Every structure is written in structure tokens, then in C-alpha cells.
């Protein structure tokens, strides 16, 4: 169940797809959106499948309140616009990420997962 997926997971970034999402201002208008797909690498479900966590961001980086800015700042630190343009998805996909997942409730009482933060996995020296 969704509620059991609250916590922090070691994940891989599987993909970042360019999709069309509904505008918050007008649900009839579609706007460019990134669909970020993370999968757990250490924890599996009862069938042995990884857990999948998805978050959507707009495509604009730089505004402190933008979900994309918050997500990427957590992953790689603050970037200039040039560094953002040069960002290599393959490099991000090659790393492990510490993904903190929370739960939210929709108006219809349906419960769903949300990605709260994504940070690099820090290896502890032994």
C-alpha cells in the first residue's frame, strides 16, 4: 500500500521524459513538463519488483520556488543557466540517489506518494 512507502530509499534515476502536463492556471492547456522516474535499488515489493517513484516538474530552472530548481539543487547543487543547459542526464542516471518519499491526500481522500527530496548518496568511509 502507498502509506507503507513513506521514508527514504536508495534509488536510481531511470528516466527524465519530456511530456505535456496540464497547466495549473488552466487544465485545458498543456505545457512542457519533465517526468522524473526513480526506482528503488535496495528495497523491492513482494514480487521482487523495485518501487517506482515519479515526480513532475516544469522545464524552467532558476526560480527558487520552481519544482525543477528545488529538485536539481538537491541533487547537484545550485547551477548557472549554462550549467543547467550542459547537464548530462547520463551522469545523473549513473548515480545513486537518496529519495525521501512522503504521502499526501487528495480532496477525494485518495492517498498518493510524493517525492519530497532527492539527494546524492553519501558513501561513508570505513
Domain ranges of the chain: 12-95
Q: What angle do CA 84, 73, 41 make, to 5 degrees?
A: 100
Instruction: With a cut of 90, say whether residue 83 has pLDDT above it.
Output: yes
Predicted TM-score (pTM) of the model is 0.88
Instruction: With a cut of 80, say whether residue 126 has pLDDT above it.
Output: no
Task: Provide the pLDDT for residue 76.
Answer: 96
Q: Which helix (H) or strand (E) holds 63?
A: none
Report the candidate in 47, 16, 46 with the shortest Cα–Cα distance to residue 32: 16
Instruction: With a cut of 70, say whether residue 2 has pLDDT above it.
Output: no
Amino acid at each position: 500500500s502507498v502509506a507503507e512507502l513513506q521514508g527514504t530509499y536508495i534509488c536510481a534515476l531511470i528516466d527524465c521524459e519530456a511530456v505535456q502536463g496540464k497547466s495549473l492556471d488552466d487544465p485545458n492547456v498543456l505545457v512542457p513538463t519533465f517526468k522524473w522516474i526513480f526506482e528503488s535499488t535496495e528495497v523491492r515489493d513482494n514480487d521482487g519488483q523495485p518501487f517506482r517513484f515519479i515526480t513532475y516538474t516544469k522545464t524552467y530552472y532558476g526560480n527558487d520556488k520552481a519544482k525543477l530548481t528545488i529538485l536539481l539543487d538537491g541533487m547537484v547543487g545550485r547551477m548557472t543557466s549554462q550549467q543547467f543547459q550542459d547537464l548530462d542526464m547520463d551522469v545523473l542516471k549513473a548515480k545513486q540517489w537518496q529519495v525521501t518519499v512522503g504521502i499526501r491526500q487528495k480532496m477525494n481522500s485518495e492517498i498518493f506518494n510524493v517525492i519530497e527530496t532527492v539527494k546524492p548518496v553519501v558513501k561513508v568511509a570505513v
